[in-house]
Amino acid sequence: MTINRSQVTHQGGAMDYKKFIDDQIEEIKKAAGDGIAINALSGGVDSSVLTVLAHRALGDRCRTYFIDNALMREGEPEAVVKTFADIGVPVLKVDARAEFMGALRGLTDPEEKRCAITETFYKGVFGRLVRETGAKMLLHGTILTDIEETVAGIKRQHNILAQLGIDPVKEYGYRVVEPLATLRKDGVREVGRLLGLPSKVWDRIPFPGPALATRIVGEVTDDKLAIVRRATAIVEGELSDTKAFQYLAVLLSDKATGIRDGKREFGHIIVVRCIESRDARAATATRLPWEKLERICAAVTDIPGVNRCLYDLTPKPPATVEYI
């Protein structure tokens, strides 16, 4: 999809999000005709907002799937299905853990990892779901920042196809429609709020589609996922009372010498990142209280095999938010 900024509706210079919602509902209806559409809900802000928009437009002609790709946070699959059941949107869970882990095996290069996730997602899992449901259209929660960073060559966002020269109809046999592609994160949140989503959904910190794979430098393995998942829960628990834009834990591929139980240990290193940002295009590190950092450090280095915890002060640019 080519982004045409004139598609963004404005009212007196400010975006008219109510009109945006009405327009997108009409567009989705038109695109679907009397057919079936499917979409993937990860529980992140973008896919959550997209899910509600799609159900407003198509009702049960939109089938929403939660793809368990083995890369999710602690308790996430169950929590997402429950949150949406509570607002009347049925979500079907698909266990694709073995498929994603198989595709990631042996890969260490960030772009190769992202590419493997894209292929598994679009060709493997979605190809199958499209065939099973007879859907002709996949609705996707791509936002403008995803597209811009992919086009700029900063990174291949997992959900970008057209801008990478991939024709989903030819490659995968279905159309991809991206109703949020003219919005940035702050706009998506506003749409979510206006759609009546609970604030715990639209006000959630961003979480990338490739999930914890973006938080492991080097090969993604079950053991490393278990470490970064635990560290993520610690960091999110400790920082949820801040107003920071995003906070996360990253497992590095390097190791460092430390001491455990009086013995030398060559252990893992976790980086904690907490940022201030409006829309993730630029960011600065949050000035967290020292005591908070010390509590995080103590809990993180309590994870077996982890003996260092670092706080990342780097702004974006030159860093990005994620590590791959």
Burial of residue 92 (number of CB atoms within 10 Å: 0-12, 13-18, 19+): middle
Q: Helices (DSSP H) in the chain: which residue ranges?
A: 17-32, 45-58, 76-86, 97-104, 110-119, 126-133, 144-151, 168-172, 185-194, 199-202, 222-239, 290-300
CA 119 to chain centre: 16
Q: Per the structure block, which two tokens stand in for 1?
A: 């999809």
The answer to whether residue 215 forms part of the interface with ligand XMP (CB under 6 A) is no
CB of 88 to ligand XMP, least distance (A): 25
Q: Is 206 in the site for ligand XMP (CB under 6 A)?
A: yes
Binding flag, residue 320, ligand XMP (CB under 6 A) = yes
Report in angstroms how near the CB of residue 52 gets to ligand XMP at its nearest: 17
By CB under 6 A, tell whether 184 contacts ligand XMP. Answer: no
Sequence letter at residue 251: L
Cα separations in angstroms, 254 against 17, 216, 230, 257, 309: 45, 11, 19, 10, 13
Q: Which of 68, 119, 148, 149 binds ligand XMP (CB under 6 A)?
A: 149
Q: What track of x and - describes contact with ligand XMP for positions 158 through 177 (by CB under 6 A)?
A: xx------------------
Per CB under 6 A, contacts with ligand XMP among 263-302 are 280
| Beta carbon nearer to ligand XMP, 159 or 301 | 159
Q: Is residue 255 a contact point for ligand XMP (CB under 6 A)?
A: no
C-beta closer to ligand XMP: residue 99 or 178? 178
Identify which of 1, 320, 303, 295 has the alpha carbon closest to the alpha carbon of residue 138.
Answer: 1
Q: Is 209 in the site for ligand XMP (CB under 6 A)?
A: yes
Residue 170 exposure: Cα atoms within 13 Å on the Cβ side: 5
Residues 55 and 62: beta-carbon distance below 8 Å: yes
Count of residues binding ligand XMP (CB under 6 A)? 17
When the beta carbons of 29 and 155 are compared against ligand XMP, the nearer one is 155
Q: Does 189 bind ligand XMP (CB under 6 A)?
A: no
Stretch that binds ligand XMP, among 105-113, 128-136, 206-214, 225-233 (CB under 6 A): 206-214
Q: Which is nearer to ligand XMP, 77 or 208 (CB)?
A: 208
Q: Please answer whether residues 114 and 156 qualify as being in contact, where contact means their C-beta atoms are separated by less than 8 angstroms.
A: yes
Site of interaction with ligand XMP (CB under 6 A): 146, 149, 155, 157-159, 206, 208-210, 214, 246, 280, 316, 320-322
